[in-house]
Amino acid sequence: MIDTVKAQFEVLDDRFRRCNGDDRMERLHTGCRWTEGPAYFPAGRYLLFSDIPNERVLRWDETTGAVGVFRQPSGYANGHTVDRQGRLVSCEHGNRRVTRTEHDGSITVLADRVDGRRFNSPNDVVEHSDGSVWFTDPDYGISSDYEGNQGDSETGGCHVYRIDPVTGRARIVADDFDRPNGLAFSADERHIYIVDTPAKHIRRFDVGDDGTLSGGEVFGTCDAGVFDGVRVDSAGRLWAAAHDGLHCFDPDGTLIGKLRVPEVVSNLTFGGAKRNHLFITATGSVYALRVNFAGVRYP
């Protein structure tokens, strides 16, 4: 029998009343130490997600419901994304690098240093339509051996980076964060939302044609623990992982509702043929439900 829990959509603003879905959420898998980085592959109909402290990436098969090990050791991989060629891009805490898994299974290192200095522990990653790869680099993976390998920071802080699609060089695009975490582009890619976890807020930046950022005002604040991963839906709403579930923000920054989850949520992604299958990583489990909205389709 499939393990399910009641899906609780909490309306805080009338604009959220149109958001709903399955009456119950499926618990696809449990028994992990800390799940993160859900990434859905439509061609194979499977979901990859990290179990960071156990240094493994797991794979859930949509056609059979089976869960198995995709990669172990994983370099304490955290966040993932699927690029526009269907390849896995991963942030590896333990190896302090961002990698891409090619179609033949080989691994390409996209970046492991900035100006000759090793990163702290790349955390979450997104791709822009120009081919650039953007990622956050807090110090969670070097602060202890739990989610990586304890070590010293060489970068002088926790920053946000952009890997140039032509030169392959990584450069800092934001350096005024405590510990940057989840990040997501708006539908038109003119803005990027970036979480600063200890500050308990999300900031919104304007994205220039040359990949530079400006602005950076606070977009939303957390009233339940801290924020982690974020994603944007096709209506421009921002969904943020928090301690009591997913928080949904209208494009104007208003918190309009929540999807309650019985474990602390780390991240989310949209999958399925219509991008309306919502996958949620939360503490030791992975949840899923079909919803009546969809993840954004980027350029």
Q: Specify the pLDDT at position 1.
A: 65
Read off the pLDDT of residues 189-223 as tens digits, 9 standing for 90 and up: 999 999 999 999 999 999 999 999 999 999 999 99
- Percent of the chain at pLDDT above 90? 99
- Percent of the chain at pLDDT above 70? 100
The pLDDT confidence band at residue 2, using thresholds 50, 70 and 90, is confident
Domains, the chain:
4-290 (2.120.10.30)
CA neighbor of 239 nearest in space, from 297, 210, 279, 273 = 279
Measured CA to CA, the distance from residue 204 to residue 189 in angstroms comes to 12
130 marked as binding residue: no
Cis peptide before 73 (omega within 30 of 0): yes
As a whole number, mean pLDDT of residues 26-40 equals 98
As a whole number, mean pLDDT of residues 35-61 equals 98
- Residue-averaged pLDDT of the chain: 98
36 marked as binding residue: yes
**How many other CB atoms are found less than 10 A from the CB of residue 282?**
27
* Amino acid symbol at 103: H
| 228 noted as active-site residue | yes
Exactly one of 124, 137, 139, 228 is catalytic; which is it? 228
123 marked as binding residue: yes
Beta bridge partners of 184: 193
